[in-house]
Structure 1
Amino acid sequence: MSIAAPQLSWAPDAPLPALLISPLSHLGLMQVTGEQNRSFLHGQITADVNALDANRWCWGAHCDPKGKMLSAFRLFAIADSMMLLMPKELLSSDLPEFRKYAVFSKAELDDVSAQWTILGITGTGAADWLHGQFPQFNREQPLCQLEQGVILNDGERFLLILPTQAAAERVQEMPLYHHSAWQALEILAGYPGLDAAHQGQFVPQMCNLQALDGISFTKGCYMGQETVARMKYRGGNKRALYILKGHCSANVTPASTLELAMEEGFRPQGTIVEAVQNGDQLLLSAVLPNDTPADARFRIADDPQSLLALQPLPYTLENA
C-alpha cells in the first residue's frame, strides 16, 4: 500500500487547518549504525551527539574542513540507530562525504529513505489525532519512540516517521496536503531548508543554527570546528538567515536573483535558500547581511513588479 498523492494546498496567509497532514516526500533519512556510530557522528557534526538521549532530537550541521555546511538536519535515534533527517537532494550528495571518514570507524551509513515515510502533522487537532493513533504519545516529550518509528515534537508541529506500509495504513482516506505547506511552516519557523546547490557556501551561523541549538561550542573537535568557533568568538560572521514574504508572478527557485531596493535603484543582495509559492504569494528564506534594516524592500529580478518585505524571526540572533 502506498500513500495517495496529496491534493490540498495551503497558503501562509490562510488560516491553518485544524489537522494538516503532509507526506514530506522531499525529505530523506540517513541511518548511521555500528558500535561506534555515536562517536563517529560526534566527531563529524556540530551537534553534541553524546548528550542526546533517546527521548530528544536536535538540529545539527555537517561541515567541510573549511567550516562550510554540506547539510543541515534534524538528528535523533530510532532504537540503536542514529538518524539524520534532511532533504533528499542533500542526502545523496552528503552521504559520500560522510563515508570518506567512516572507513576509520566501526560505523555504517545508509540512505534508508525508501524504507520510511515522513509525515508532517500540525493544527489544533494534531496532538489529539496522534494520541488517538498512538496511546503512548506524550506531547510534553520532545521525541516519542514508537513500536515502529518515532514522533518528533516541534512545538506546534510534529514529524511522524513510520515504515512506509504502516504510514499508509494510518492516513488511508485522510485529506493530505502537498509538502509545500509544510515547507512554508518551516520557513516561518526560521529553519534552514538548505538546497543542494548551496552546499559549501555557508558556515552554520549564516543559517542561524546557533539560534536553534544546533551548534555545541563545548563538545570539542569536529569537522570545520575551528571556523565555526572563530565566527562566534571573533565576530567574523556577517550574514544571517531571514524570512521574506510578498508577491511575485515569476517562478522562484534558490537560483533566482534577489534584489534590494536602494535610492539609486535595485542591486543583487543575498542568496535565496528556500521558496514556496501559492499563486502570486511568495514566502522565502534567504541569507542576507546581518545588518539588513527591518524595513528593507526586495524584489525578484525576473519580476520587476514583485515586492518582498522582511518578516520577524521567531528567535533572537544574539551571540551569532
Structure 2
Amino acid sequence: MTLTVSQPQWSVTEEIPELVFCNLSHLGLLSVTGEQGRSFIHGQVTTDISSLSADQWMWGAHCDPKGKMLASFRAFSINDALMLMMPKDTLAADLPQLAKYAVFSKADLVDASDSWIILGVAGQDANTWVETQFGEVLEPVTAISNGVIVKDGERYIIVLAAETSDAIIDKLEQPIYASSVWQSIEIKAGYPNIAAVHQGQFVPQMCNLQAVNGISFNKGCYMGQETVARMKYRGGNKRALYILTGTSKNPISLESQLELALEAGFKKTGTIIEYAQSGEQLVLTAVLPNDTTDAAVLRFADDETSSLSIQPLPYALDDE
C-alpha cells in the first residue's frame, strides 16, 4: 500500500486545517534487533536508549568520533524492534557507518522503510480522529495492532505495517498532503532533521538537540561524547538552529547560500537544514552564528529581492 498525495500544494503561510493528513514518505525507519541490539545503539548515540520504555520516544543523534552528527532521529519501539526514524537519505548514509561497528555485537540493523507506511496527522481535530480510529492515546507511544502511534504534542505520527495499512488508509476522507506540509510543521517546531548532506558538519548542540532532550549527559560513553560534553561544560559553541520565514522568487535547496544584511552590505552566513516552500513563500531552519539577533535580516545570495526574518523558537535555548 502506498499513500497517494491528492493535495500536493500548500502555502506555508496558511494555518493548519482542522484536520490534515500528510504522507511522510521522506522519513525512513532503521530497525535494530538482536540480543545486543539496544545496548549496541546505546553505546553509539547521544540519547539514553537503555531507559527508553515501550511507551516513550526520544530524539537522539549518532555522531562521528569528533562529535559531529551523522544523523539525528526519533527512537521508539515497535514490538521487539528498536526503530530509529530519520530522513531516508540520512538513513542510507548512516546505516553503513553503524554497521561497521555492529559486526562486533549481536545486533541486526536493517533499513525497514519499505515495510511500513508513515502517516502524519495534525490539526485541532487530530486527537478526535485518532481516538475514533484507535481508541484513547495518552502515552507518547501507543502500540496498535499493525504498528504504533507516536504522539508529539497535538500531532501524531502513525506507523503502519505496509501489508495491513489499507484498512486505515481507505478511511481517510480528507486529502493527503505532501511531506513538505509536515516538514513546514516540524520546521516551526524547531526540530533538528539532519539530511545526508549535513553529515559530519555539526555538533548536536549546534542544532539545538539539547533543547529537545536529545542528549543525555548522564549516560555512559558513546561515539563523540568527549566533544559533546566539552561543549556543555566548557562552552565554546558558537552556532545554533534558527527558524526563518520569508520569500524568494527562486526555488531553494539545502545548498542555497544565505546572506546576512550588514551596514556595509551582505555577508555569507549559515547553512540551511530543512525547508518548505510554496510559491515564493517559505519557512526553513538554518544553523547560524548564535549571536545572530532576532532583528537580523537575511536573504538568498542568488536572489537580491528575497527576504528572511528570524522567528521565535518554541523552546528555551542555552549554550548547553
TM-score, with length taken from structure 2: 0.97
Per the TM alignment, residue 316 of structure 1 is displaced from its structure 2 partner at its CA by: 1.1
Distance 2:176 2:62 in 1: 32
1:240 corresponds in structure 2 to: 240
2:98 corresponds in structure 1 to: 98
Per-residue CA distance 1:36-64 (angstroms, 9 max, x = gap): 11110110000000111000000000000
Conserved 8 A contact 2:12-2:277: no
2:3 counterpart of 1:3: yes
- SS of the residue 2:177 aligns to: coil
State how 1:176-191 maps to structure 2 within 5 Å.
Answer: 176-191=176-191
| Percent identity of paired positions between Structure 1 and Structure 2 | 55
Per-residue CA distance 1:196-251 (angstroms, 9 max, x = gap): 11100000000000000000000010000000000000002110000000110111
Distance 1:5 1:46 in 2: 35
Per the TM alignment, residue 6 of structure 1 is displaced from its structure 2 partner at its CA by: 3.4
What code does the residue aligned with 1:6 have? S
- SS of the residue 1:215 aligns to: coil
State how 1:201-212 maps to structure 2 within 5 Å.
Answer: 201-212=201-212
Distance 1:12 1:309 in 2: 14
Distance 2:197 2:153 in 1: 30
2:296 counterpart of 1:293: no
What code does the residue aligned with 1:149 have? G
- SS of the residue 2:165 aligns to: helix
Per-residue CA distance 1:73-92 (angstroms, 9 max, x = gap): 00001111100000000000
State how 1:33-52 maps to structure 2 within 5 Å.
Answer: 33-52=33-52
Distance 2:317 2:77 in 1: 28
Per the TM alignment, residue 319 of structure 1 is displaced from its structure 2 partner at its CA by: 4.2
Conserved 8 A contact 2:12-2:282: no
State how 1:155-234 maps to structure 2 within 5 Å.
Answer: 155-172=153-170, 174=173, 175-234=175-234
CA RMSD after TM alignment: 1.1
1:318 corresponds in structure 2 to: 318
Query: How many residues are paired up?
Result: 318
Stretches of structure 1 lacking an aligned partner (at least 5 in a row): none
Q: Report runs of 4+ in structure 1 exceeding 3 Å deviation.
A: none
Higher mean C-alpha deviation, range 186-195 or range 168-177: 168-177
Conserved 8 A contact 1:120-1:160: yes
Stretches of structure 2 lacking an aligned partner (at least 5 in a row): none
2:69 corresponds in structure 1 to: 69
Per the TM alignment, residue 141 of structure 1 is displaced from its structure 2 partner at its CA by: 1.0
Distance 2:191 2:123 in 1: 19
Distance 2:2 2:116 in 1: 11
1:117 corresponds in structure 2 to: 117
Conserved 8 A contact 1:6-1:23: no
Per-residue CA distance 1:118-174 (angstroms, 9 max, x = gap): 111101111111111112x32x31110112110011001110000123333312253
1:153 corresponds in structure 2 to: 151
TM-score, with length taken from structure 1: 0.97
